[in-house]
Amino acid sequence: EKINTIIGNEIAFCRSGMFFHTNQEGNLIKENYFHNNLTQVTAQGKTANFNKWEGNYFDDYQGFDRDNDNIGDTPYELYNYVEHLWDFKKEVRFFYGAPLLVILDFLERLAPFSEPKFILRDKTPKYIWESQNVIN
């Protein structure tokens, strides 16, 4: 089984920053810059967490960096709530971003009426992206 290494990329302005079509595991996804994506990662299979995620920057990370080492104090964890509806049902994509689905997503996070799908965990997320690492 071939392992992919995805390092030092800027992944931005996408409907889904990365899309995993299968449950391939063992890929290394490291020091990438995920920003301004509607969804950072989508996993059509079970999860994208069978890959090694380390040192990536996610603009929706909600943790802290109390010791100022530029590594988040808590892991970045991504769960799929209502978003999974439009990943697999083409008819629902028309309503992507509609106020009703935004409210539904908020309510699902507040008081889940179904179990969210676990997507990934980066144990050492970057807290601030150092722009000199991005190649223009």
Pick from 18-27, 38-47, 96-105, 110-119: least confident = 96-105
pLDDT in the model for residue 136: 43
Q: What is the mean pLDDT of the chain?
A: 83
- pLDDT for res 131: 60
Residue range 28-87, pLDDT digits in tens? 999 999 999 988 998 876 678 889 999 999 999 999 999 999 999 999 999 887 665 655
3-state secondary structure of 31: coil
Q: Which ranges constitute the DSSP H helices of the chain?
A: 84-88, 99-110
Give yes or no for a contact between 81 and 101, defined as CB atoms under 8 angstroms apart: no
What pTM was computed for the model?
0.77
